[in-house]
Amino acid sequence: MLETKTMQKQNGLKANALEARIKRLVFEEQRAKKLTDIATEKAEKLLKARDRHQRELEEKAIRQKKKFDAIQEQL
């Protein structure tokens, strides 16, 4: 009788520990997904900013070349 109660108590403790571990793993998975989403979003923003910057530099170079060509034609 005492053994049965002890085993039931141990099984209950094991079940509680397992449940707590599952909850923690679910929480960690959600947290990792959130952090991954944030990192992906930041990376996309950085790539867009880099492309925009590159495009602006190219446009500036084209404008300067046109300006230089116009000055050359006047001379």
pLDDT digits (tens, 9 = 90+) for 3-53: 888 999 999 999 999 999 999 999 999 999 999 999 999 999 999 999 999
DSSP letter for 52, please: H
Structural domains of the chain, count: 1
- The pTM is what? 0.64
Range of the domain at 10: 1-75
Helices (H) and strands (E) in the chain, counts: 1, 0
pLDDT of residue 46: 98
